Structure 1
Amino acid sequence: MSEATKLPTSSLGWNLYGAGFENLGRNGKPEALPVAAPGPDQLLVRVDCVSLCFSDLKVLTAGDQHPKLVGRDLTSNPTRLGHEASVTVIAAGAKLADRYKVGSRYAVQPDVYVKGKSTAYGYVISGALTQFHLMGPEMIDSPEGTYLIPIDDSFSAASAALTEPWACVDAAYTQRRRLEPLDGGSAWIDVATEPDAELKWGRGSRAPKRVVITGASPALEARLRGLLRDGCEVIVAPAPATGEIAAFVTSHGGGFDDVIAIGVSEPERVAALLAAVAFRGTFNLVGRPAGALNVAIDAGRVHYDYIAILGTENYDIGDAYGEARNRAELRPGGRLVVIGAGGPMGQMHVQRAIEMESGPSLIVGVDVSAERLGVLRDRFEPLAAARGRKLVIVEAADPAPVAAALAAHGAPNGADDVVVCVAAPPVIEGAATLLSDDGMLVIFAGAKIGTMTTVDIAPVASAARQYTGTSGSSLEDQVGIVERAAAGKLSPGRSVAAVGGIGTAAEGLVALKEGRYPGKIAIFPQLVDLPLQSVDELAARYPTVAAAMGPERIWNPSAERALYTEMGVKS
């Protein structure tokens, strides 16, 4: 075993023993947890920083009812929150000493999979709300490699921890949806109105292995059969009534990988067909609806299940598929609206749009909090001006003032892109009304599955409108963020709004729930006595830290070193 100093035998930490704040730690405080020396295939790491996330609150609220923890008795087998973390190796087991040197620093990617099963760090694997802990093979040796991403001295511990939420933001603009019919999958073609023109299906027609056809005339059925792959299993049935669709789906084996709705114009039927789409499935609306088609969609499924809502006004089913019609990235030179822009993640979306090389020319930041919007203006108006972008701040709780701001800045037909960082259905519905016909709505906020919101999906077919959503990030996403930050193309430290020591983690989670700070809360486990405070309060208390952050209050390695010095702790 390789080690630098005498190893710790205990660590202050916040185990979670059940749902609710009363089950976090012991009597509202961190407890002394035992720390063992690493085994041959383990690392002992020092947690340098952990930033708090709304996902932590979801676990705290749900306890063993959280989807990742169902069936786990937290009373006897607690977990520990904290998945946005940076660590330093202080000891390495015999099998790892050559690969992981004492003193080497890492950002942690928490989306860990073991034998194909999600065992996420900070959920299933106990996370970073502690001073020291062991990491085993599940974090270090996996089919993906290691979930530890090396960082150099250009990163503060807080900036390194923030590469994980930044990766989640960046992932919102990468294709997570499947945009082609699944090869070897199951498809359902439901025909409500037969097309006047000859129905075609070029792209993707030979992918499904099993196809259910309902509502088609014998002639159209024959036409569809001729377009499918050789040996495809075809099941023909009468079209089920809208109220019977759920039972129909169950009787045919559960959700379909691809659902194709031809000439369907009844909103309730479209909603039922959408519900029939399996995880990572596609829904294809074929044919131009007459007027609006206001449909109740499950925002949670768009976000967590990566449901792709596609369409084409042409009667070639394949025209709806592929990335050319279904973008994920912001439109270069376009108009962007960020709803909830004053919050921690909303600020990241604004910053990304400003800093990206071919980003939107107009960014409209919307929030209900004047205080948060003031911080957004102070932090990002100078950056936007320096990058040649226009940042407009709008305090609003409904879409009308936002639409007026768009019109006043040259976008009377709406925004090219709208990002929603608030999980409330009325907010999502209002956001959708701000889109231009060919715009993209990104449901970033983690609405629960079953969160229904009504939006017009007619422009999906008529004008390539997009409704997208993502959850979490991958190792590749976070590596990309680390590389961009190291190259000076991204400043994660701009997101830090408050700091605290390990003893303030519970208070920090309360502050997060209340929205007390307009940005991310960084917890430094090694600074036991550091009170929870905003970066402005910290600057007023410690002039050396203020000088290092500068007037824009940007967290950086110099500010972090100054804080450690002020606290009398070696960094």
Structure 2
Amino acid sequence: MKTRAIRLYGVNDLRLEEFELPPIADDEILAKVITNSICMSDHKAAEQGANHKRIPKDVDKNPIILGHEFCGEIVEVGKKWQDSFKVGSRFSIQPALNYQGTLDAPGYSFRYIGGDSTYVVIPHQVMELNCLLPYDGDAFFLGSLAEPVSCVVGTFHAMYHTTNGSYVHQMGIVEGGTMAILAGVGPMGLSSIDYAIHNPQRKPGRLVVTDIDDARLKRAEQLYSVEDAKANGVELIYLNTKLVDDAVAKLMELSEGHGYDDILVMAPVKPLVEQADAILAKDGCLNFFAGPNKTDFSAMLNFYNVHYASTHIVGTSGGNTDDMRESLSLMEKGLINPAAMVTHIGGLPAVPQAVINLPNIPGGKKMMYTHLDFPLTALSDLPELGKTNAVFAELAKLVEKHNGLWSAEAEAYLLANCKQRVKE
């Protein structure tokens, strides 16, 4: 079986290549990838090459396939797994394997599995660790988003609180408490708002979402309205902190002087971290969600409050397999819709430049259709492009129909009508 894939050979050395996959062993599975979502972690992997902690040192001789947020269909099942997996079933993968203490992960460490490809061989480690997850949704792109959504789910579960006199940590956000999401209308922030409002387990009573861009805040409110939040038991407030004289004072006012039980910091910005620290309530938990590129990133922390007000800080990176299962289940039930994260679509040949230039490309998630061949395209550009391209014209109508969002309907139309396909 031949595959076409984006392979990493070194620092920003990404190549689209066709090569033969080996026949699967009895403990492996052959799969067809349909979608892969580009992540900032892909950019970091390309930027660091063999210096990345998950990438093999001999990647220049044994290149890996990039991409870890993917969804597709099972094509062939090795003998060992034939009672567990069926040909034609849809799947998503939890890439954080932690197999026997290694950091090896699909999209970073393996020669024959990664999301930026047409076909892959899924190694035994994935199945042995129950990381090949069935997906029954009607859109492949949502299956690709299960991994980033699981990062949000994991963040909510990683928050913790304490009781005086007890050393037991009570895991999760404070139910009915005050919560803030700072710099909260980027793609992961939007997903956090969605989960905070719509998850059926534990919700805040009041949620304050901040940013410094009015247009992005207004778009967030269109997607997740104050009225919808109220109907789900959450008081939702959007705040442009650039328009107030004293952001800390205003945020404290919005919490009625209580401060915030739970805070997510969605950008690695020193003043933002310090702002979060300043508005923590007693026993408040600050989650530094955003991963910085700089190894010496630091910010001031009020240690008086650490001692006397029991404030504390956590950092989460990725979600575990249970978090991914929860993400897939919530999407399958229609309780959350992470489509708001997607701002661009593209085909497999567009991956290398999209990955390398990712920090300079505005918007949210870039959803790549690995069997198609068309440039990286912003959803907002579809109406203009549609003037000369009938497929894009119809896609523009479908995006407008779904309130500016990518959808299962748009995906199905693209897969059925795009004439530009990757050679197989």
TM-score, normalised to structure 2, is 0.86
Q: Is the 8 A contact 2:74 2:86 kept in 1?
A: yes
Q: Is 1:86 aligned with 2:71?
A: yes
Which residue in 2 is equivalent to 1:151?
A: 135
Runs of 5+ consecutive residues of structure 2 not aligned to the other structure: 387-391
Structure 1 residue 51 displacement after superposition = 0.8
Structure 2 counterpart of 1:504, which letter?
A
- Amino acid paired to 1:52: I
Contact 2:46 2:355 in 1 (8 A): no
Measured after TM superposition, the shift of residue 85 of structure 1 is: 1.0
Q: Could you tell me how far apart the structure 1 residues matched to 2:411 and 2:237 are?
A: 32
Q: How does 1:93-108 map to 2 (within 5 A)?
A: 93-108=78-93
Encode CA deviations 1:227-273: one digit per residue, 9 max, x unaligned.
Answer: xxxxxxxxxxxxxxxxxxxxxxxxxxxxxxxxxxxxxxxxxxxxxxx
Point out the structure with max Rg over C-alpha: 1
SS of aligned partner of 2:106: coil
Of residues 476, 493, 499 in structure 1, which corresponds to 2:339?
493
Give 1:393-408 correspondences, 5 Å limit: 393-396=238-241, 401-407=246-252
SS at match of 1:172: helix
CA distance in 2, matches of 1:119, 1:176: 27
Question: C-alpha distance in 1, partners of 2:103/2:242?
Answer: 37
1:503 maps to 2:349: yes
Does residue 1:456 correspond to 2:307, yes or no? Answer: no
Correspondence for 1:513: 359
Gaps spanning 5+ residues in structure 1: where? 1-7, 180-309, 313-318
More relative contact order in 1 or in 2 (CA 8 Å, sep 6+)?
A: 2
Q: Distance in 2 between matches of 1:383 and 1:539?
A: 29
How big is the shift at 1:65? 1.3
Correspondence for 1:537 among 381, 384, 387 = 381
Match of 2:415 among 536, 561, 564: 564
Name the amino acid aligned to 2:416.
Answer: T
Structure 2 match to 1:19: 11
Residues 179 and 260 in structure 2, CA contact (< 8 A), matched pair in contact too: yes
Q: Which residue of 2 aligns with 1:378?
A: 222
- Aligned mates of 2:393, 2:380 — CA distance in 1: 11
Which position in structure 1 is the counterpart of 2:121? 134
Match of 1:369? 213
Corresponding residue to 2:276 among 423, 431, 437: 431
Aligned-residue sequence identity (percent) comes to: 25
Write the deviation string for residues 69-89 of structure 1: whole angstroms up to 9, x where unpaired: 3x6122112222211111211
Change (3 A) 1:104 1:401: farther
Look up the equivalent residue of 1:100 and give its one-letter code: F
User: Does 2:173 correspond to 1:330?
Assistant: yes
Question: Quick check: 2:77–2:87 contact (8 Å CA) kept in 1?
Answer: yes
Displacement after TM superposition at 1:48 (Å): 1.0
Indicate if the aligned counterparts of 1:333 and 1:359 stay in contact, CA closer than 8 A: yes
More helix by share: 2
In 2, Cα distance between equivalents of 1:395 and 1:37 = 56
Distance 1:462 1:427 in 2: 23
CA distance in 2, matches of 1:371, 1:176: 30
Helix, strand or coil at the partner of 1:100: coil
Aligned residues of 1:87 and 1:108 also touching (Cα < 8 A):
no
How far is 1:410 from its partner?
4.8
Residue 553 of structure 1 is matched in structure 2 by 404
- Contact 2:32 2:118 survives alignment (8 Å): yes
**Equivalent pair of 2:27/2:79 in contact (CA under 8 Å):** yes
TM-score (norm 1): 0.65
Q: Which of the residues 161, 182, 196 maps onto 2:144?
A: 161
Q: CA 1:515–1:422 in structure 2 vs 1: closer, same or farther (change >3 Å)?
A: farther
1:184-237 Cα distance to aligned partner (Å, 9 max, x none): xxxxxxxxxxxxxxxxxxxxxxxxxxxxxxxxxxxxxxxxxxxxxxxxxxxxxx
Q: Secondary structure at the match of 1:454?
A: coil
Aligned residues: 409
Alpha-carbon distance between aligned partners in 1 of 2:228 and 2:5, rounded to the nearest angstrom: 38
Give distance in 1, aligned partners of 2:98 and 2:139: 28
Correspondence list, 1:37-76, <5 A: 37-69=23-55, 72-76=57-61
CA contact (8 A) 2:158 2:316 kept: no
Q: Which amino acid aligns with 1:513?
A: P
**RMSD between superposed Cα atoms in Å:** 2.8
